[in-house]
Amino acid sequence: PEAANYQKFAQPASRFALVGVFVAKYADGVRVAVTGASEGGVFRWAEAEAALTANFSPAALAGLSVDADGLIGDLHATPAYRAHLIGVLTGRAVTAAG
């Protein structure tokens, strides 16, 4: 990749990621992978990929959100909170990747 970064929001006791986001910018587009959030495992956030391919900046994510349906809900975080973290961490990863 031309630029890449991984951000995670760690569960304090285990240090495992409640949510982790990896952003990679390639010549032909951007990939956004999310881990720790979905009942189905790792997934790609297609809407963010499209927005960041057009404009690789945190501002491109404005107005985007991940649907909380299918996200993990447990004693550490609700599905809605995990959805919020995905957006926040994606923005941080883009900023860090430059």
What domains can be seen in the chain, in order of their start residue? 3-56+63-91 (3.30.390.50)
d(CA 85, CA 77): 10
Q: What is the pLDDT of residue 10?
A: 94
* H helical segments located in the chain: 46-54, 79-97
What is the tens place of the pLDDT at every residue in 16-56?
999 999 999 999 999 999 999 999 999 999 999 999 999 99
Helix (H, G, I), strand (E, B) or coil at 10: strand
Task: Return the CA Rg of the chain.
Answer: 13
**Token digits for 90?**
């994606």
pTM of the model: 0.95
